[in-house]
Structure 1
Amino acid sequence: MATIPPSRSPIKPLLALSLLWLAIGTQASAGSGDPWADLPAQVDTLLPGVIELRHAIHRHPELGNREFKTAERIARRLRELGFEVQTGVAHTGVVGVLKGGQPGPVVAIRAELDALPLTEQTGLAYASTLRAKDEGNDLRSRGKDVGVMHACGHDAHMAMAIGVAEVLAAHRDALPGTLKLIFQPAEEGPPLGEQGGAALMIKQGVLQAPAPEVIFGIHVTAGTAGTFTLSKARTTASADTFVARITGRQTHAAFPWTGIDPVPVAAQIILAWQTIPSRQSNLSVLPAPVISVGRLEGGDRHNIIPAEIRLEGSIRTISDEQREDVLKRMSNTAQSIAQASGATATVEYLPGGYRSGYNDTALAERMLPVLQQVSGTPVKIDNGTYGADDFAEYARQIPGLFMRMGVTPPALQDKPVWPTHSPGFQVDDPSLATGIKALSLMTLRYMRGEGQ
């Protein structure tokens, strides 16, 4: 996720924030009193418990499709709040439904259960020390004992969703609709050979009975704490993992003409792939794709030309059409260059890739004022990120709104900051209140039909 820059002038937005709370209270009360008129104060009151929950989840992370204890913790809290709870969805997923006392639409909020195979280096009192067997599709670490860490902020996402549950369940009789909380496993990808994530949740009916009209999601990221970045259209990129094998003929390094050297062939392929975004993609239609080789492996000894070179990497594309085109071009390029040197090349695309995501533009426009006022600083409007997230699967089925929220602790703001997916990533606990307020108010705004 992209870094969110610090705000410049919070004074006027803060004044407008106070006016928004007054406006929301006046608009919804209609003389009968709105139980959420002091929603910011309600969130501040429950925040210590939300922080405690996040720390407990952070201390006990679990990998995709293995989030058994995390799911139990979430389900138990939802039941305590009066939700109808379904467990075991898409292996370990949890779905909580809160039917309000007033008629209205169904609104869904999605959070993720899983952590990453990383050894934590934050030094925090609640840092994870757990280890587990990596069953993912990383060829280097698969099957090995690895550290486990909530390095993508999923612990914060779960805690904020529970915070929303507490705020809205406190006045259930006044809730003008139904809240559906989706706690999804395996957002980072299921174990190799298994299904999982958003696609499996949808396949097993998470968007039915009751069927939500819209779905909201927040992703925390490195950036000024409590600030939002929003796209009115494209949100996330598709992501595919590839493994390319360039095969030559092994020989003595002193006599390369007696074999076929795959090393220079691999180098030519890597360079040629970079012409796909710079020379073969129509950049007047879409932003360029990104092709990154993250690992190159081959060889046994310094004076032996290897028989094979293996390349591993990631591809990021902006649309389904661009994705299909890039994958085809990569395979054709590798095969043609290898053939010209007498070598062979294959490019395998591993299962479990992510599709590109888009926000519903009308929904983004409708909810932008809430984000603006809750944050108290200008919301940054951008054209999405090259990061990937399977929230895109939900937003392909129903109108969705996915936003990024900065959570870098102020004490780290002027220091080199660890981003998500790194062993030093940290979350500013007080920022959770901003996310809870945003999700709660967007839910109420939609249920009440405000801003249409």
Structure 2
Amino acid sequence: MKAIFLFSLILFCASVHADEVARQADLIESKVIKWRHHLHQHPELSNREFETAKYVEKHLRNLGLDVQTGVAITGVVAVLDSGKPGPTVALRADMDALPVKELNDLPFKSTKTAEFEGNTVPVMHACGHDTHMAMLMGAAEILTGMKDKLKGKVKFIFQPAEEGAPRGERGGAEVMVEEGVLKKPDVDVIFGLHISANTDVGKVRYRHGGIMAAVDPFKIVIKGKQAHGAYPWKSVDPITTSAQVIMGLQTIVSRELRLLDDAAVITIGSIHGGNRSNIIPMEVTMVGTIRTLNEQARSHIYEALPRKVNSIAQSMRAEAELTLPLDYNYPITYNEPALMDKMLPSLIRTAGQENVINSKAVTGAEDFSFFQKEVPGIYLWVGGKPLDVSEADSPAHHTPEFYVEDSGMKLGVKLLANMTIDYMHAK
């Protein structure tokens, strides 16, 4: 009887808190939109988010929070202490934009340029990170105003370089973790979300387990023997060998993995060799990427890739050099199933049962996974697609036409706030 009473009390409190969060989200929606528009008009590339960081920092300091800057170069971290015992919940938003020229005709359109790999390029928030920051700024304002309802601490993490650090640099979530962002106070759980141009405004997509793929770039160098193109029998042909390697790698996915469980991808994205039509070159270099959604598939490909590459090269009398991973890699963005079960009622209370979608995984990657590698975490997709636009007609992420509605952000603000409060009270 006592357990039933306590459970009923928790549900009642969660409902009351959700109502208050909804009221506050309505009140500050215009501010969230204003922040988003400013950030969209002033995008900055990875590890160069200096003005973006100042803008976020000013807001957090105005809330009276304890703020740390310069984390992983430009990251901003703030802590809200309720003064009561309880867990530490981390909330994360990414800050960087992309070297993309915006083609949308918006009053807050980006016309900014910046230096990228030695060239001056246009810059745009073509993946929605402007909305992520605005949503987290909104959640910070609501949670600060509801401090008396909290138990424990909230850590707001504004992360640079999610899209990848510039060549020759390091950055992003991995560096933030190395610099102790999940410590002092020690984080118990972390929540993050991504706006989706392919999901209707008002809906949220979740998944137990892997929701976004691990990414493991690799390089293969095939070495043979150079010869005149008219006399191929005098060569050890690295081009023909490379062709067989490319086809052979596809059989790892199609014939060695149990694709009923999770998809996997092996892609060769670049191949270079030779300089004339009548010369068989000495070597060919290929660069590719692996995407996996569970550790078993990832481990299998790590074993199978050198097996395939070396055996095919040997059969052609060539030599192969494999570098795996190449220069970086991301873990699987993995929603711990027990935690996902615990937080699912929060999603339903916030968005409504009909708007909470059990989603398929995607083979894109997210460095939020570095946080989840250290502590349990949940990553969600929040709808930003206008209701009168079909999914087929909605511009993709990372394109010049990328667009998401301002109205989609209110759900994200509420989700971040409600998941934080519900987790604290459940603990």
TM-score by length of 1: 0.84
Give the drift of 1:103. Answer: 4.1
Give the drift of 1:187. Answer: 1.6
Tell me whether 181-190 or 297-306 shows the greater mean CA deviation.
297-306
Inter-partner Cα distance in structure 2 for 1:223 and 1:252: 55
Secondary structure of 1:126's counterpart equals coil
Give the drift of 1:387. Answer: 2.0
Selected match of 1:66 from 42, 48, 54: 48
Give the drift of 1:283. Answer: 4.5
1:262-314 deviation line (CA, Å, top 9, x unaligned)? 32222111110001011123457x52421012233334344444444332221
Letter paired with 1:393: F
Q: Percent identity?
A: 42
> Structure 1 residues 82 and 25, CA, compared in 2 at 3 Å: closer, same or farther?
farther
Letter paired with 1:379: V
CA RMSD of the aligned region, Å?
A: 2.6
Letter paired with 2:13: Q
Q: Which 5+ residue runs of structure 2 have no aligned equivalent? A: 1-8
Inter-partner Cα distance in structure 2 for 1:36 and 1:412: 30
Selected match of 1:27 from 10, 13, 21: 13
Inter-partner Cα distance in structure 2 for 1:56 and 1:111: 16
1:116 aligns with 2:102: no
Inter-partner Cα distance in structure 2 for 1:318 and 1:50: 34
Secondary structure of 2:414's counterpart equals helix
Inter-partner Cα distance in structure 2 for 1:307 and 1:132: 39
Letter paired with 1:65: N
Selected match of 1:159 from 127, 134, 138: 134
1:55 aligns with 2:37: yes
Give the drift of 1:203. Answer: 1.7
Inter-partner Cα distance in structure 2 for 1:246 and 1:123: 48
1:441 aligns with 2:418: yes
1:142-157 equivalent positions in 2, closer than 5 A: 142-157=117-132
Inter-partner Cα distance in structure 2 for 1:291 and 1:345: 18
Inter-partner Cα distance in structure 2 for 1:226 and 1:282: 35
Selected match of 2:86 from 80, 101, 104: 104
1:337 aligns with 2:312: yes
1:291 aligns with 2:266: yes
Letter paired with 1:388: A
Tell me whether 268-277 or 325-334 shows the greater mean CA deviation.
325-334
Tell me whether 156-165 or 340-349 shows the greater mean CA deviation.
340-349
1:376-395 equivalent positions in 2, closer than 5 A: 376=352, 377-382=354-359, 384-395=361-372
Q: Tell me the residue number matched to 2:3.
A: none
Is residue 224–residue 413 contact of structure 1 (8 Å, CA) maintained in 2?
no
Selected match of 1:214 from 166, 177, 189: 189
Is residue 409–residue 426 contact of structure 1 (8 Å, CA) maintained in 2?
no
Inter-partner Cα distance in structure 2 for 1:47 and 1:288: 38
Inter-partner Cα distance in structure 2 for 1:167 and 1:351: 40
Letter paired with 1:45: L
Tell me whether 187-196 or 249-258 shows the greater mean CA deviation.
249-258
Q: Tell me the residue number matched to 2:213.
A: 237
Secondary structure of 1:94's counterpart equals strand
1:329-386 deviation line (CA, Å, top 9, x unaligned)? 2233223222322333323232221011321223212221221232233422245332
1:49-448 equivalent positions in 2, closer than 5 A: 49-100=31-82, 102-134=84-116, 142-221=117-196, 222-283=198-259, 286-348=261-323, 349-376=325-352, 377-382=354-359, 384-413=361-390, 416-448=393-425
1:30-45 equivalent positions in 2, closer than 5 A: 37-45=19-27
Aligned length: 416
Inter-partner Cα distance in structure 2 for 1:129 and 1:298: 39
Secondary structure of 1:426's counterpart equals coil
Secondary structure of 2:153's counterpart equals strand
> Structure 1 residues 210 and 323, CA, compared in 2 at 3 Å: closer, same or farther?
same
Give the drift of 1:196. Answer: 2.1
Q: Tell me the residue number matched to 1:11.
A: none
Letter paired with 2:141: E
> Structure 1 residues 262 and 118, CA, compared in 2 at 3 Å: closer, same or farther?
farther
Letter paired with 1:91: I
Q: Which 5+ residue runs of structure 1 have no aligned equivalent? A: 1-22, 135-141
Is residue 18–residue 418 contact of structure 2 (8 Å, CA) maintained in 1?
no
Inter-partner Cα distance in structure 1 for 2:109 and 2:282: 44
Secondary structure of 1:412's counterpart equals coil
Inter-partner Cα distance in structure 2 for 1:328 and 1:125: 52
Inter-partner Cα distance in structure 2 for 1:127 and 1:295: 33
Is residue 58–residue 127 contact of structure 1 (8 Å, CA) maintained in 2?
yes
Is residue 199–residue 391 contact of structure 2 (8 Å, CA) maintained in 1?
no
Give the drift of 1:94. Answer: 0.7
Inter-partner Cα distance in structure 1 for 2:402 and 2:283: 37
Inter-partner Cα distance in structure 1 for 2:266 and 2:89: 37
Inter-partner Cα distance in structure 2 for 1:105 and 1:340: 58
Inter-partner Cα distance in structure 2 for 1:201 and 1:312: 28
Secondary structure of 1:61's counterpart equals coil
Inter-partner Cα distance in structure 1 for 2:395 and 2:228: 44
Inter-partner Cα distance in structure 2 for 1:97 and 1:292: 41
Inter-partner Cα distance in structure 2 for 1:144 and 1:298: 26
Is residue 90–residue 201 contact of structure 1 (8 Å, CA) maintained in 2?
yes
Inter-partner Cα distance in structure 2 for 1:282 and 1:411: 39
> Structure 1 residues 397 and 425, CA, compared in 2 at 3 Å: closer, same or farther?
same
Letter paired with 2:200: T
Is residue 18–residue 349 contact of structure 2 (8 Å, CA) maintained in 1?
no
Is residue 78–residue 85 contact of structure 1 (8 Å, CA) maintained in 2?
yes
Inter-partner Cα distance in structure 2 for 1:269 and 1:414: 36
1:202-261 deviation line (CA, Å, top 9, x unaligned)? 221111111222111111222222211111222222101223233334444333334343
